[in-house]
Amino acid sequence: MTLHPEIAEFLASLPAPPEGPLDPVAMRAADEAHVAPLAERLPLHAVDDVTAKTAVGEIPVRIYTPVEADSYGVLVYFHGGAFFLGSLETHDHVARPLAKETGLKVVSVGYRLAPEAAFPAGLDDCYAVVRWVAEEGTGLAWDGETLAVAGDSSGGTFAAAVAARAHDDGFHRITHQILYYPSLDLDFDVDRYASLRENAVGYGLETAGLKPFNAFYLDSGADPADPLVSPVKRTDLTGLPPALVVTAEHDPMRDEGELYGERLREAGVEATVSRYEGAGHGFVQHFSWIPEYHAVFTQTRDFLGRG
């Protein structure tokens, strides 16, 4: 299937990227400039900015409560942005429909970013907030049952790594992992995955851009050979929580996500791999207003058993 016409039209309207090295500060400012005004955002019962006091320090989180209830399952969400972009604000419009459609309380994590914060600071923050949810559950009205992790793109990397790290630590409270077009193999070997060649040019995120976009993270000490950096390199996937792996047809990183789902199944882990046709990388963040892509939220609901 060709790229969805509304996505293709949008990509054609974008100016050429500036030449020269990437400027993370300027790119973050540009992202924040496109955040929707509060009045235009999906209303929920409550949205609260709080500070999670964790073992690694104080971490800003935004808590989305879909409806008034006595208790809730919790989904901890990690935003994308190649480990150096993104914030609670830029991904607010992803967290809100996640809460509404699943009925879970969503905790979005404002983790530390590269290059200012060296590896593993961002991962440490994400894991610490999951542990904080379990420890502070009564204050969050957590039901003590569903505790899911989810993320898009690099946030999906963190979700997979957090699930693995928790398993290795003997922390078995995570019930689901939800990975939206995750980046799972950060050595970007074009000979290993056909999607890096098939989707190299013309679909928004391009293969040639993967190394420079991820350089801030990798240069901060993240080793692509480390399974906590490239989760697909983990040799033993047994015992990990059930997974929903969402991929996009025209994403250079499509095949590594689908391989991870296949390897999870081979390890006896319940794993659903769902490829969205006509979509490119980032479609949950940028194009979930298109009806067929908004369905990712109801699919997430169904995977969590909330339908």
Confidence of residue 307 (pLDDT cuts 50, 70, 90): low
Q: How far apart are CA 307 and CA 292, in angstroms?
A: 18
Q: Considering only CA atoms, which of 76, 112, 111, 81 is closest in space to residue 95? A: 76
Select which of 250, 281, 286, 288 is catalytic: 281
Q: What is the pLDDT of residues 230-257, one digit of tens each?
A: 999 999 999 999 999 999 999 999 999 9
Select which of 87, 153, 195, 288 is catalytic: 153
For residue 126, what pLDDT is reported? Answer: 98
Mean pLDDT of the region 145-168: 98
Question: Is residue 86 left, alpha or beta, with left meaning phi > 0 and alpha meaning psi from -120 to 50?
Answer: left
Q: How far apart are CA 200 and CA 121, in angstroms?
A: 30
Q: What is the pLDDT of residues 181-204, one digit of tens each?
A: 999 999 999 999 999 999 999 999
285 token code pair: 């963040």
Return the higher-pLDDT residue of 138 and 166: 166
281 is catalytic: yes
For residue 137, what pLDDT is reported? Answer: 86
pLDDT at 180 over 90: yes
Confidence of residue 306 (pLDDT cuts 50, 70, 90): confident
274 is catalytic: no
Select which of 251, 255, 286, 288 is catalytic: 251
Name the residue with tokens 């904080």.
132
For residue 27, what pLDDT is reported? Answer: 94
Question: Is residue 74 left, alpha or beta, with left meaning phi > 0 and alpha meaning psi from -120 to 50?
Answer: beta
Q: How far apart are CA 138 and CA 136, in angstroms?
A: 6
CA distances from 14 to 9, 10, 251 (A): 9, 7, 18
Return the higher-pLDDT residue of 137 and 156: 156
Q: What is the pLDDT of residues 101-128, one digit of tens each?
A: 999 999 999 999 999 999 999 999 999 9
152 is catalytic: no
Mean pLDDT of the region 30-59: 96
For residue 16, what pLDDT is reported? Answer: 79
